[in-house]
């Protein structure tokens, strides 16, 4: 396959534009479908009423935040191994979107927590892990921003992303363990309402929509970076 | 290779002995932070019992992090870091030697003074052993993982704060396990699980961190 | 022995030099000349492996230095702008550690002789020495590096007085005479006969 043909920023530029356009359109369509399923079709929950509908944004956003981090680390690793600038640009382009989804996950989680358990913030294991993931994203972005020399910035951020991706499971499990030790309390996102099939379908559609949105937005960002670097 | 590692550790210790204020400051910071908490939350003995292990551990974390600024910066400024990179010992060995010297100067003092601070919080003496052991296992991990951050931010403006942002999330597992070990012991349950996990983290850090630190140093020296 | 093939160097988005190729054999003196900012220091760092070229490669006895790593480090001495000395230690202590790190065995007597050769007999810590004295302490290493084939020196004559300059010139000439190679950058006329020049 002619993958390496597209490794040059100049040849990738028009391809990125086309992919971004189609993914963007698909994302808008799927978001509409997903929100329709989530807000209209899915039944009202017996315990939590209408508020639970925020999971149609919260859960897909959380999935994307973790998925994007792994993909970002993957691109960074490729950039480090093959010394290609475009791979490093892809990693840099994904970071803000990943951070955004992490923030959305935290914010919607907070909105869910207030009516359901009475507090805006709960030290639930998953929310706490999301918070630390947000710091990891910020660290990546901040490190890139602090280094003037572009090649050093690419490589340093790549090492950071790889170290982060290795640590994320360790952090997640240690926070899980910390949570069971200290809480054992009633607040827990793992005890979300048992999922009716429509709810699962709604979340999957939204997840797909978010994924396509991420692709579109990152590619637009990469195009901007390509323009800036020439 | 080992001769070079020994030379690095000896040199760092010799330099530190002639600049004792650096080492003393980090230790002093640890003591001050631990002493500040009762002033902030009140001196209720039950409260202090409950927060003691956590406070000591957080203070150890912050103190380690402050000391990281000294790990590579001075050598970078006077050109000795480049000489280390061009030496006959592999860079992985060099960084482990530097991290070891750094731990001896900033981690070990924390471990040794922790029982005194536990006294301040009126923690029962039976916990001293677990506290010291958890710090003994945890502070080297902090030195090794922190060294990655120190290497990445070498020579940058605002490196201190950036280092904190990069490295504190990675410190979280050590904090959770370390403080948790002492709390488990305080509750009368065994702390073996946490201590074993800390030991596992130490082994993993010793195996993997040198690669990351060496890679980061090469990138920063370019 | 040392071969540079098609070196491209980019710093801060700007290309410093392109397609630079040359060879340095035993007994050669190579002077790298050029205006400030033309990439002299970068070229020297490329040659010792601290910097990676955007294109091209550096080879030592036919092997790319990226693959040789420590084996290549064993065969070279690099003295850069910064002295490479710890402020808190004396010149002799510094030289002792430097030799240990370079895998060069040096007794106390040899260290003392090397320092005497560059005219430095001070036992004070480096912090208390003048700029010229620090420079001499850094260069004293050369007197103990006779067995190391390649010397890469960045501005070796900077901040030295006439006597010290003469001594360093002698060290360099002797090394070339032994069959070693010396690559150096300098603004001044090095006064070394038979030095090739590369202008950046």
Sequential DSSP letters for C39-80:
SHHHHHHHHHTSS--SEEEEEETTEEHHHHTHHHHHTEEEE-
pLDDT for C146 beyond 90: no
Mutation target to probe the B interface, by most B beta carbons within 10 A, among A163, A166, A172, A176 is A163
pLDDT tens digit sequence for C46-66 = 998 898 888 888 999 888 988
Residue C9 burial (10 A CB sphere; 0-12, 13-18, 19+): buried
pLDDT for C174 beyond 50: yes
pLDDT value of residue A84: 86
Chain B residues with CB under 8 Å of C16 CB are none
What is the span of the domain harbouring residue B30? 2-221
Domain count for chain B: 1
C12 touching A, CB under 8 A?
yes
pLDDT for C69 beyond 90: no
For chain C, report the end-to-end CA distance as a whole number of angstroms. 22
pLDDT for C37 beyond 60: yes
Nearest to A139 among B169, B176, B183 (CB): B169
In angstroms, the CA C11 to CA C7 distance is 13
C11 touching A, CB under 8 A?
yes
Chain C residues with CB under 8 Å of B97 CB are none
* Contact across the interface for B169 and A136, Cβ inside 8 Å: yes
**Domains of chain C and any CATH numbers:** 2-199 (3.40.50.300)
For chain B, report the end-to-end CA distance as a whole number of angstroms. 24
pLDDT value of residue A2: 62
Please choose, from the candidates B147, B120, B123, the residue with its C-alpha nearest in 3D space to the C-alpha of residue B134.
B123
**Chain A, nearest residue to C11 by Cα:** A149
pLDDT tens digit sequence for B84-114 = 999 889 999 999 999 999 999 999 999 999 9
pTM: 0.90
pLDDT value of residue A185: 44
In angstroms, the CA C43 to CA C185 distance is 10
Query: Strands C181-185, C29-33: parallel, antiparallel or unpaired by DSSP?
Result: parallel
Q: Which residues of chain A have pLDDT under 70?
A: 1-3, 45-48, 181-195
Task: For chain A, list the contacting chains (3+ Cβ pairs, <8 Å).
Answer: B, C
Q: Which residues of chain B have pLDDT under 70?
A: none
- Torsion sign across C-alpha atoms B25, B27, B31, B36: positive
- Torsion sign across C-alpha atoms C141, C142, C143, C146: positive
pLDDT band at C145 (very low <50, low <70, confident <90, very high): confident
Q: So what's the ipTM on this one?
A: 0.90
Distance of CA A119 to the CA centre of its chain: 25
Residue B20 CB contacts under 8 Å (≥ 6 apart), including other chains: none
In angstroms, the CA B94 to CA C24 distance is 30
Please choose, from the candidates B160, B161, B140, B46, the residue with its C-alpha nearest in 3D space to the C-alpha of residue B98.
B140
- In the numeric block, which tokens belong to residue B95? 């960084």
Residue with tokens 């951050």: B149
pLDDT value of residue A195: 64
pLDDT value of residue A73: 96
Query: Strands C63-64, C14-24: parallel, antiparallel or unpaired by DSSP?
Result: unpaired
pLDDT for C80 beyond 70: yes
- In the numeric block, which tokens belong to residue B131? 């506290």
In angstroms, the CA B155 to CA B144 distance is 19
pLDDT tens digit sequence for A130-158 = 999 999 999 999 999 999 888 899 999 99
pLDDT value of residue A192: 52
B164 touching A, CB under 8 A?
no
Residues above pLDDT 70, as percent of chain C: 100
pLDDT for C162 beyond 60: yes
Buried b (16+ CB within 10 A) or exposed e, C80-101: bebbbbbbbbbbbbbbbbbbbb
* Alpha carbon distances (Å) from B131 to A39, A179, B61, B186, C122: 52, 21, 14, 10, 48
C13 touching A, CB under 8 A?
yes
């Amino acid at each position: 396959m002619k993958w390496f043909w597209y490794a040059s920023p100049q040849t990738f530029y028009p391809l990125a534009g086309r992919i971004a356009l189609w993914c963007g359109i698909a994302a808008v369509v799927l978001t509409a479908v997903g929100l329709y399923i989530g807000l209209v079709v899915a039944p009202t929950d017996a315990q939590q009423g209408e508020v639970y509908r925020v999971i149609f944004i919260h859960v897909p956003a959380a999935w994307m935040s973790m998925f994007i981090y792994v993909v970002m680390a993957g691109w960074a690793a490729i950039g480090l191994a093959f010394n290609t600038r475009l791979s490093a640009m892809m990693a840099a382009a994904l970071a803000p979107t990943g951070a955004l989804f992490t923030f959305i996950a935290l914010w919607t989680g907070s909105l869910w927590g207030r009516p359901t358990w009475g507090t805006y913030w709960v030290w639930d294991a998953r929310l706490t892990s999301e918070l630390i993931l947000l710091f990891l994203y910020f660290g990546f972005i901040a490190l890139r921003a602090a280094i003037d020399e572009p090649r050093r910035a690419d490589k340093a951020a790549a090492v950071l992303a790889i170290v982060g991706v290795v640590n994320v499971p360790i952090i997640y499990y240690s926070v899980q363990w910390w949570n069971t030790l200290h809480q054992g309390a009633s607040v827990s996102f793992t005890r979300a309402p048992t999922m009716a099939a429509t709810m699962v379908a709604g979340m999957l559609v939204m997840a797909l929509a978010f994924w396509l949105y991420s692709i579109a937005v990152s590619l637009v960002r990469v195009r901007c970076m390509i323009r800036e670097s020439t | 290779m080992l001769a070079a590692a020994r030379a690095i550790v000896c040199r760092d210790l010799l330099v530190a002995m002639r600049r004792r204020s650096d080492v003393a400051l980090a230790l002093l910071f640890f003591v001050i932070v631990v002493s500040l908490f009762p002033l902030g939350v009140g001196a209720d003995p039950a409260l202090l019992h409950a927060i003691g292990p956590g406070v000591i551990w957080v203070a150890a974390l912050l103190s380690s992090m402050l000391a990281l600024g000294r790990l590579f910066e001075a050598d970078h400024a006077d050109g000795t870091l480049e000489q280390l990179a061009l030496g006959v010992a592999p860079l992985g060995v060099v960084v482990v030697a530097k991290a070891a010297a750094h731990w001896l100067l900033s981690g070990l003092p924390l471990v040794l003074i922790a029982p005194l601070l536990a006294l301040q919080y009126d923690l029962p003496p039976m916990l001293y052993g677990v506290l010291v052991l958890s710090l003994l296992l945890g502070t080297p991990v902090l030195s090794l993982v922190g060294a990655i951050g120190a290497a990445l931010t070498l020579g940058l403006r605002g490196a201190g704060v950036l280092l904190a942002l990069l490295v504190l999330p990675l410190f979280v597992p050590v904090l959770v396990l370390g403080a948790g070990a002492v709390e488990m012991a305080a509750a009368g349950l065994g702390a073996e699980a946490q201590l074993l996990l800390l030991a596992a983290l130490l082994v993993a850090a010793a195996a993997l961190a040198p690669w990351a630190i060496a890679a980061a140093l090469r990138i920063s020296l370019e | 022995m040392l071969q540079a093939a098609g070196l491209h160097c980019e710093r801060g988005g700007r290309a410093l030099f392109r397609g630079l190729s040359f060879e340095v054999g035993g007994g050669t003196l190579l002077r790298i000349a050029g205006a400030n900012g033309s990439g002299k220091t970068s070229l020297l760092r490329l040659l010792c492996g601290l910097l990676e070229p955007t294109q091209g490669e550096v080879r030592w006895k036919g092997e790319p230095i990226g693959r040789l790593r420590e084996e290549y480090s064993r065969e070279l001495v690099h003295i850069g702008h910064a002295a490479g000395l710890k402020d808190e230690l004396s010149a002799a202590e510094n030289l002792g550690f430097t030799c240990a790190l370079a895998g060069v065995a040096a007794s106390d007597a040899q260290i003392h002789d090397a320092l005497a050769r560059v005219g430095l007999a001070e036992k004070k810590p480096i912090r208390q020495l003048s700029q010229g004295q620090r420079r001499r302490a850094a260069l004293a290493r050369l007197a103990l590096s006779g067995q190391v084939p390649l010397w890469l020196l960045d501005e070796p004559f900077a901040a030295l007085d006439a006597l010290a300059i003469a001594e360093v010139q002698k060290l360099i000439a002797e090394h070339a005479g032994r069959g070693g190679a010396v690559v150096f950058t300098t603004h001044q006329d090095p006064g070394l006969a038979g030095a090739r020049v590369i202008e950046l």
